[in-house]
Copies of this chain bind each other. A is one copy, B any other.
Amino acid sequence: MAARVAAVRPLAVWNRNADRARAFAEAHAGVVVAATPRELAAASDVIIICLPTSTEVEALLEGADGLLAGLTAGALVVDCTSGSPEGARRLAARLAEHGVAYADAPVSGGTNGAEAGTLTVMVGCEPALLPRVEAAVAPFAGRVVRMGPVGAGDAMKAINNALLAVTILAVGEGLAALTKAGVSPRLALEVLNVSSGRSFVSEVLVPERVLTGLWPATFRLALLQKDAGIANALLAEQGVPGPVLALAHQQLGAARAMLGENTDYLEAIRMTEHLAGVEIRG
């Protein structure tokens, strides 16, 4: 995402790991490294943030070297973190005290989409702010959709990821049983993918990453579990009973505990494979 911004605009960057910031600046012309969030904020009228959770973003604001110490009234923070609606609302309120605008703007499309500049950006902000947000994310966005007020972008992203989680778990359960019963999982997916049970998981993820045994590390299971937790908190807040999404959250927690913090999200299927004593390959 930063590379695509750097290609069209002057850019200052800051990273929790200073080496990564320096390496990025060396590789991209016109990029300067800020020593602190404060310095970054002082140098910019638009700040784009992307961190693991809202908690890290909130921490970035405060302190002598924090963003708030450098931000000037009229600036805009575009938060691409897959955060929580509640966290987004707290951030917006805190920034508003300093006259700074805020939009939650989580993205989907993966590393490929970021490099190609085709990410979908789910925005939560005041309607009038949308044009500034669109301009800010234009270098890496294929599509920008305002979902509603602050927090709505995060809500959308959390539900998408919770549905992804449910589908991964269910497809893993179903294919483990078919494979153990002697059905070729490749054949099963071919049939599934021209039938009503198909999903992005069955059409793309499992054929490319599970059948092949590749299991590339693209997105941490721990983060998907966090997103499923955000989705469940949204359902609780809205008074929507959601047993299926609640169970998916718990199962990801069990998979995380079994497989470790650095496991890729798709490896939730590996928990079922391990418990069932079968590998879905072919």
Contacts and interface: CB of A to CB of B under 8 A. Distances in A.
Interface residues of A, number: 82
A120 B152 contact: no
Given A229-B236, A250-B246, A276-B257, A166 B167 contact: yes
Contacts of A48: none
A133 to B, nearest CB: 15
A171 interface: yes
A277 interface: yes
A46 interface: no
A196 B108 contact: yes
A129 interface: no
Most buried by B among A152, A246, A277, A278: A246
Interface string A180-211: 11111001101110111111111001000000
A240 B276 contact: yes
Nearest to A107: B195
A9 to B, nearest CB: 26
A181 B161 CA distance: 17
Interface stretch (A15-23, A25-33, A71-79, A141-149): A141-149
Contact of A194 (B108, B176, B178, B237): B108
A257 B244 contact: no
Copies of the protein in its oligomer = 4
A171 B163 contact: yes
Most buried by B among A170, A191, A236, A250: A170
Contact of A163 (B199, B243, B245, B247): B199
Contact of A251 (B163, B176, B243): B243
Most buried by B among A149, A167, A241, A249: A241
Closest 5 CB pairs of A and B: A163-B197, A199-B199, A257-B275, A241-B253, A160-B197
24 contacts: A108-B195, A109-B195, A120-B195, A145-B191, A148-B181, A148-B184, A151-B181, A155-B178, A159-B178, A160-B191, A163-B197, A163-B199, A169-B244, A177-B240, A180-B239, A180-B240, A181-B238, A240-B272, A241-B275, A242-B272, A244-B247, A246-B249, A254-B275, A258-B275
Interface of A: 85, 108-110, 120, 122, 143, 145, 147-149, 151-152, 155-156, 159-164, 166-167, 169-171, 173-178, 180-184, 187-188, 190-192, 194-202, 205, 229, 231, 234-251, 253-254, 257-258, 272, 274-278
